[in-house]
Amino acid sequence: MQRINFRKNILDSLPVQAKRYYVSDEKVPGLGLAVYPSGTKSFLLYRRINGTPQRIKIGSYADLTIEVARREATKLNAKIALGEDPLEERRAIKDELNFNDLFDLYFNQHSKRFVKNADEDKKMLERHFLNKLGRLKLRDITPDKIRKLHIDLGEKYPAVANRVIAMASAVVNFGRKYGYLEQSNPCSGIKKFRTISRDRFLTNQELQAFFSALEHENERYQDYFSILLFTG
């Protein structure tokens, strides 16, 4: 592997070849750049971990500056020096559940069996929560992200925002109870919006339409809905 001083003008001018090749940085041990036949380039760290040569991808050359790549390579070198395995750590994070995964467990093992209107709750959470935070790993769902979602949703639908956070909290508590995660509940402490009661009474015109509709039902339903109406 050719060693060069990583500078932008030098890395920009590296030629594309028929096969992938690598160059390494003179300043940071193990830091390399892969140049692919497609013309794309990626920073990586080449080190022996527990006696086995490993290439750890740092990121795309198009997305990272040389200094950022050097800092990341230095951090990885420090972890390896302390006996850690960054690749194993990444695998563990990759295998960790995201919120969508945990919700599926919650819905199938608990909500569908014990929660009234579970299907309606699922639709609400899918619409207002899962499509925004569902793909995040559980460790990446922070109180700040929950609070921002609650505030953004509450600007138009305060009651819905409160309900969504309550449902998300139930999912997290399920995960904590059954050992799917150990972190504290990021939904705890979220202050609910004040909501206005939506109770209303039928107008005289609506009452007439209501009783007219009842006349077409059998006597049992007429009695049942009349009792509901008169008793509130």
Confidence of residue 198 (pLDDT cuts 50, 70, 90): low
Average pLDDT, the chain: 88
Q: Residue 29 pLDDT more than 70?
A: yes
- In this prediction, what percent of the chain has a pLDDT beyond 90? 62
Q: Please state, in angstroms and rounded to a whole number, the distance separating the CA atoms of residues 173 and 186.
A: 10
Say if CB 150 and CB 190 are below 8 A apart: yes
Quick one: pLDDT at residue 111? 92
pLDDT digits (tens, 9 = 90+) for 128-182: 999 999 999 988 999 999 999 999 999 999 999 999 999 999 999 999 888 888 7
Gap between the Cα atoms of 149 and 132, Å rounded: 8
201 pLDDT band, cuts 50/70/90, is low
pLDDT category at 92 given cuts 50, 70, 90 is confident
Question: How many other CB atoms sit within 10 Å of the CB of residue 162?
Answer: 19
